[in-house]
């Protein structure tokens, strides 16, 4: 197969891998916390007075639109929730999903690693 051939178009995926629901959910949660600024936001929301608004823009030196974008990513992951309180919006941790994530990651990393081979 020749990529330089005129008109060649690479297929994105040849075989579609089927993932379990748990794999998909864990991956999406992990993706949500895969950026240091989102970890910082989550820590602020979890440790400070629980609820927060856009003061984040004052604490974190990033453009307002960028912060908003990260908040949206966290919202989509379900780890946080937002309450409209015009003209402000108050964000806080979504406790139910937070606990789900806790047990999910806990169960994942808590795997029994008893080794039956000679790796160190």
Partner DNA sequence: TTTGTTAATCGTATATTTGCGATGAACTAT
Partner DNA sequence: ATAGTTCATCGCAAATATACGATTAACAAA
Residue ranges that bind DNA, judged by CB under 7 A: 1, 3-4, 8-15, 31, 34-35, 37, 53-54, 57, 62-66, 68-73, 82, 86-89
Q: Which stretch binds a copy of itself (CB under 8 A): 3-11, 56-64, 68-76?
A: 56-64
114 binds, among DNA, a copy of itself, none (CB under 5 to 8 A by kind): a copy of itself
Of 98, 114, 94, 115, which Cα lies nearest the Cα of 106?
98
The answer to whether 93 touches 41, Cβ cutoff 8 Å, is no
Secondary structure of residue 94 in the 3-state scheme = coil
Token pair, residue 7, equals 């008109």
109 binds, among DNA, a copy of itself, none (CB under 5 to 8 A by kind): a copy of itself
């Amino acid at each position: 197969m020749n990529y330089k051939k005129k008109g060649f178009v690479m297929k994105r995926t040849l075989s579609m891998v089927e993932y379990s629901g748990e794999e998909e959910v864990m991956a999406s949660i992990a993706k949500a916390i895969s950026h240091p600024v989102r970890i910082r936001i989550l820590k602020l929301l979890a440790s400070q007075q629980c609820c927060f608004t856009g003061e984040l823009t004052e604490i974190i030196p990033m453009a307002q639109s960028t912060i908003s974008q990260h908040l949206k990513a966290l919202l989509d992951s379900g780890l946080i929730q937002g309450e409209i309180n015009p003209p402000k919006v108050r964000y806080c941790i979504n406790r139910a999903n937070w606990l789900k994530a806790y047990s999910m990651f806990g169960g994942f990393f808590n795997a029994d690693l008893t080794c039956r081979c000679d790796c160190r």
